[in-house]
């Protein structure tokens, strides 16, 4: 079987120009993500929370804050304390910057503060406070905070019988024993079942931004984690990076609802504790959001690999965040890959968003069997299920994803390449 490495060097523009369809002969070129197109249309993820906004300061306004941040630890040890210290300094700086324009916020009561991916915050603003900040030359972005929802799915739960290999794992090249792998997978989602017997969850680094623990009360995040890294043992399922360490970054509650501000909180925390070469899975998304896009790009700029879902609206993915993000850092390999979904016959999933760019690769996303909340197992469908296949591949291959053919019936007429380990 002829494989080729994608997203490790320049050349995706030529690939897109050629627009090979499913039967196209594979060539040995290499590819890298193209720039995100200028998108004017905005697809809303929900009505904005009244009076609640995300505010991001310009880099020059954050210069003093950046100068006070300690050097990031090169090893896992110390990362949690480092992240805590940066959050503390960010709270002080945001409070100070607001006070300079007459907006009083106690640093301890600010709702959401960001310091790793950019300097900013999210909070309720009065009409006068909003006017002041929109006129403040130090401010780069002021946008309404909006709700984000996990897609409702049909759940077919199962018991943990003798171990089976889901079809998607086989299609992308099979499982690789990864217990003890130094690179970790951070799952920004509804949480992970922290004591699921088929997962190696690092609870020390796991964190919730919706109250309570990082445990999964919805099931979505646990399902994603299993596709990435379920253990190769005698029961349940096996993931692409079998037995690798997964970390729960919980940004959705049991109902599957979150907000852009909360998701950025999860991204910002993750940016503080990752190491270069780690993988982040974001099987989530909503309407176009510049602050979400920038947060994800800045996370990847730290040399980590981010897999994001294209979305399940059967629509152009250029109108959704973070699906529309295209990012590649040639200096350290960090990148963002947007993932569409296909069925077991390599046919484009009817629900999957389309358009490349920004979609980089397609993966199995229909009737995917994986781990589930409560120590169980379930079958789900969605681009959320396709994305962790690519996250697992990047985890075992240190960022590399290979092509194994092209998906059939891509609605945009430019067949997405199928990812393989």
Dihedral angle over CA of 380, 381, 386, 389, nearest 10:
20
- Burial class (CB within 10 angstroms; exposed 0-12, middle 13-18, buried 19+) of 85: middle
93, 55 Cβ separation under 8 angstroms: no
Quick one: which of 143, 142, 145, 118 has its CA closest to 298? 118
Report yes or no: 352 and 383 within 8 Å, Cβ to Cβ. Answer: yes
Contacts of residue 10, Cβ cutoff 8 Å, sequence gap at least 6: 30, 31, 32
CB 150 within 8 A of CB 256: yes
Tokens of 154: 């049909």
Q: Could you give the 3-state DSSP secondary structure of residue 273?
A: helix
Q: Is 297:258 a contact under the CB 8 Å cutoff? A: no
Cα 331 from Cα 337, distance rounded (Å): 17
| Other beta carbons within 10 Å of 332 | 14
116 a catalytic residue = no
Quick check: is 206 catalytic?
A: no
**Looking at 136, 189, 343, 416, which residue is catalytic?**
189
**What residue ranges in 166-208 does DSSP mark as E strands?**
176-177, 185-189, 200-201, 207-208
Exactly one of 384, 389, 404, 416 is catalytic; name it: 384
The span from the CA of 271 to the CA of 334, in Å, is 12
What are the backbone angles phi and psi of residue 199, rounded to the nearest 5°? -130, 145
Active-site annotation holder among 136, 145, 215, 220: 220
Q: Write out the DSSP string of 322-375.
A: TTT--EE-TTT--EEEEEEEE-TTSBBPTT--B-TTTEEEEEE-SSEEEEEGGG
Assess whether 384 carries a catalytic annotation.
yes
Say if residue 358 is preceded by a cis peptide, omega within 30 of 0.
Answer: yes
Longest dimension (CA), the chain: 65
3-state secondary structure of 56: strand
Q: What is the C-alpha to C-alpha distance for residues 241 and 345, in angstroms, rounded to an integer?
A: 23
Indicate the angle between helix axes 260-273 and 79-99, nearest 10 degrees: 130
Positions marked active-site: 189, 220, 384
């Amino acid at each position: 079987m002829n494989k080729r490495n994608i997203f490790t060097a320049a050349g995706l523009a030529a690939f897109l120009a050629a627009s090979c369809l499913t039967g196209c002969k594979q060539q040995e070129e290499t590819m890298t993500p193209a720039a995100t197109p200028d998108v004017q249309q905005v697809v809303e993820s929900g009505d904005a929370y009244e009076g609640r906004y995300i505010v991001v300061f310009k880099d020059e306004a954050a210069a003093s804050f950046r100068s006070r941040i300690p050097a990031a630890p090169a090893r896992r040890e110390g990362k949690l304390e480092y992240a805590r210290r940066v959050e503390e300094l960010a709270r002080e700086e945001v409070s100070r910057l607001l006070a300079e324009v007459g907006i009083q916020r106690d640093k301890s009561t600010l709702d959401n503060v960001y310091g790793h991916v950019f300097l900013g915050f999210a909070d309720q603003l009065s009409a006068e406070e909003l006017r002041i900040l929109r006129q403040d030359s130090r401010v780069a972005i002021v946008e309404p905070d909006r709700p984000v929802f996990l897609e409702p799915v049909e759940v077919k739960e199962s018991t943990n019988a003798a171990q089976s290999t889901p079809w998607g794992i086989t299609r992308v090249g099979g499982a690789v024993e990864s217990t003890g792998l130094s690179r970790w997978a951070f799952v920004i989602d509804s949480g992970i079942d922290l004591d699921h017997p088929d997962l190696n969850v690092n609870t020390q680094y796991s964190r919730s931004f919706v109250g309570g623990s990082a445990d999964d009360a919805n099931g979505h995040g646990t399902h994603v984690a299993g596709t990435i890294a379920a253990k190769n043992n005698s029961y349940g399922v096996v993931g692409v990076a079998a037995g690798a360490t997964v970390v729960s970054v919980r940004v959705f509650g049991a109902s599957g609802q979150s907000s852009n501000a909360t998701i950025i909180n999860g991204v910002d925390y993750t940016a503080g504790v990752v190491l270069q070469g780690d993988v982040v899975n974001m099987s989530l998304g909503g309407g176009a959001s510049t602050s979400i896009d920038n947060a994800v790009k800045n996370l990847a700029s730290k040399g980590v690999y981010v897999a994001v879902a294209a979305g399940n609206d059967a629509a152009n993915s250029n109108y959704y965040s973070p699906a529309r993000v295209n990012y590649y850092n040639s200096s350290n390999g960090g990148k963002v890959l947007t993932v569409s979904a296909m069925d077991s016959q390599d046919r484009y999933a009817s629900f999957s968003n389309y358009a490349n760019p920004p979609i980089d690769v397609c993966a199995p996303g229909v009737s995917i069997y994986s781990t589930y909340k409560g120590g169980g197992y379930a079958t789900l469908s969605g681009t959320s299920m396709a994305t962790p296949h690519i996250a697992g591949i990047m985890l075992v291959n240190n960022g590399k994803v290979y092509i194994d053919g092209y998906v059939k019936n891509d609605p945009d007429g430019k067949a997405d390449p199928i990812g393989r380990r």
